[in-house]
Amino acid sequence: MSKNEEPLRLDLEQYTQGLLVWVSNKLSASASALYRRLFDLGVTDWRVLAYIEIYPWSTGAQVCELIGLDKAAVSRSFGMLAERGLLHSRPNGLRKVEYATTADGRRVYQQVLRVALERERALLQGFTAAEKAALVGYMHRLLDNLPAVDAVDALHSGAG
């Protein structure tokens, strides 16, 4: 910063990344506590179960790629969900394992989904259908812009 340059200031009420993280963290923490109490599942377990119900015979790498979860966390979830009989697996080649839900997994998925959708309705109360559609569109646009954020990260990765 040069002598004549004003220092940057962060307005937390307008900082979109901060707002997104706060909403996400608060939703994840409360969902995890509720889903653990009701279904003995953490929020990561729910996300993995939901992904596999929607995209049967997927791999851990595919789960990580689409929803951006940590590989170790996904692996732990797969192990726990399979141990509980909610997922079953099949090998695909030398190192790939694919997963699908079992009948019990589909039943638990439906139970958690009812609560998850109720939470979504509570979160979006006061939004019109058009506002909800706009919000979903904005969220997809943000997802589409993530490669540009990665490019900024790469630009600064050598800075020290």
We report the CATH number of the domain holding residue 100 as 1.10.10.10
90, part of any domain: yes
137, part of any domain: no
Assess whether pLDDT exceeds 70 at residue 160: no
1, part of any domain: no
135, part of any domain: no
Assess whether pLDDT exceeds 70 at residue 1: no
Residue 93: its pLDDT value, please? Answer: 84
Contact indicator for 36, 42 with CB cutoff of 8 Å: yes
Give the pLDDT band (50/70/90) at residue 159: low
Assess whether pLDDT exceeds 80 at residue 158: no
Q: What is the mean pLDDT of residues 88-99?
A: 92
Burial of 73 (0-12, 13-18, 19+ CB in 10 A): middle
Find the domain containing 50 and state its range.
35-121
Pick left, alpha or beta for residue 68 (phi over 0 → left; psi -120 to 50 → alpha; otherwise beta). left
Assess whether pLDDT exceeds 80 at residue 91: yes
82, part of any domain: yes
19, part of any domain: no
Contact indicator for 87, 100 with CB cutoff of 8 Å: yes
Q: What is the pLDDT of residues 106-153, one digit of tens each?
A: 999 999 999 999 999 999 999 999 999 999 999 999 999 999 999 999
Give the pLDDT band (50/70/90) at residue 4: confident
60, part of any domain: yes
Cα 111 to the chain's mean position, in Å? Answer: 19
Structural domain tally of the chain? Answer: 1
104, part of any domain: yes
Q: What is the pLDDT of residues 19-71, one digit of tens each?
A: 999 999 999 999 999 999 999 999 999 999 999 999 999 999 999 999 888 99
Q: What is the pLDDT of residues 13-31, one digit of tens each?
A: 999 999 999 999 999 999 9
